[in-house]
Amino acid sequence: MEYVVISYALLAFILFVLIAAPFGRRADEKERRMEQITGSSERPEYEELQVSLVSRLFGKSLKRLSAFARKMVPKRKTGTNEKSKKLELIARQLRLAGIFMDPEDFNFIKTAVLVVSLTLTLIIVLVVKLDPLILLLILCAGAIIGIMGPTFYLRSRVSSHQNGIRQQLPDAMDLLCVCIEAGLSFDASLMKVSEKLHGPFIDELLIVYREIQMGLTRREALQHLCDSTTLDELKTFSSALIQAEQLGIPINNVMHSQSEQLRIERSQQAKEKGNKASIKMLIPMLFFIFPVIFIILMGPSVLNIIDMF
């Protein structure tokens, strides 16, 4: 009984954290904006606190454990091409999700999650006395969570990161255009936009700025930006800036037209989703609502017919 109470308490704590996390992020975002308005600058000794708690506590340990695991596991002579392709695919997914991590470290984390989930489910199965079928279902659920959990998390991060870029793209382009019209260069405009806004697209612009500062040409940095996303809008934006630089067209005119086009496309996508909603509602209505209505309406008559015959 004690283990059941402990498991329920852990479940309640996890649910509370998942529900309260978005409110904490909103509070952090409001605090950042207030600091930008007041012009307060953070001290260098507090820069480490901007990193997540998990990265600060377990980042170095995870890297050491993954390096040790790679040394202990014998290298296979065959299948190197398939392994490299899988690592490239994982690296691509991590880049699309905005997670800067080595793919081998991610594989190690997947293995660690699988081991931990299987260990916890085995402890529950051995300690808690329940029906064998329920214990088998718990064991299967733990195995599925351990195997598919990190993959589903990575896919959700990819979709949320790309959607965040899509939502922030028009506003950031307008602010870039204003900065360029005010007399700033493209590089200085990137820094000014990063001071005023925060989000996934701003992080991508900061990567472009750092690559330019490290010696890459603007065309190469924008090409890397184009390759680091699956959004057609961002690819069009990067291609338009590259063509404007090659042909000598003013960048602010290009960004004006691009931002207007992006807003039109976003409104069209919202209308499309609204039109699809009525069709998508038919599926739950057919399988969950209509059968109940038929049972309520036809049930008494069916019972009367049965009594008659």
User: Is the domain covering 165-279 a CATH 1.20.81.30 domain?
Assistant: yes
**pLDDT at position 42:** 46
Positive or negative, the CA dihedral 279, 282, 284, 285 is positive
Domain boundaries, the chain: 2-22+57-74+84-162, 165-279
Q: Can you give the chain as a three-state secondary structure string?
A: CHHHHHHHHHHHHHHHHHHHHHHHHHHHHHHHHHHHHHCCCCCHHHHHHHCCHHHHHHHHHHHHHHHHHHHHCCCCCCCHHHHHHHHHHHHHHHHHCCCCCCHHHHHHHHHHHHHHHHHHHHHHHHHCCCCHHHHHHHHHHHHHHHHHHHHHHHHHHHHHHHHHHHHHHHHHHHHHHHHHHCCCCHHHHHHHHHHHCCCHHHHHHHHHHHHHHCCCCHHHHHHHHHHCCCCHHHHHHHHHHHHHHHHCCCHHHHHHHHHHHHHHHHHHHHHHHHHHHHHHCHHHHHHHHHHHHHHHHHHHHHHHHHHHC
What's at 298, amino acid-wise?
Answer: M
Rounded Cα distance, 106 and 117, in Å = 16
The total of other beta-carbon atoms located within 10 Å of residue 74's CB is 6
State the Rg of the chain over Cα.
27
Over its length of 309 residues, how does the chain's per-residue pLDDT go in tens digits? 555 567 666 777 777 767 766 666 665 555 665 555 444 444 444 455 555 555 566 666 666 666 666 666 555 554 567 778 888 888 888 888 888 888 888 888 888 888 888 888 888 888 877 788 888 888 888 888 888 888 888 888 888 888 888 888 878 888 888 888 888 887 888 888 888 888 888 888 888 888 888 888 888 888 888 877 888 778 887 887 888 777 777 777 777 777 777 778 778 878 888 888 888 888 888 888 888 888 888 888 888 888 887
Please tell me the predicted confidence (pLDDT) of residue 1: 55
pLDDT at position 58? 60
Token pair listed for 94: 């991590």
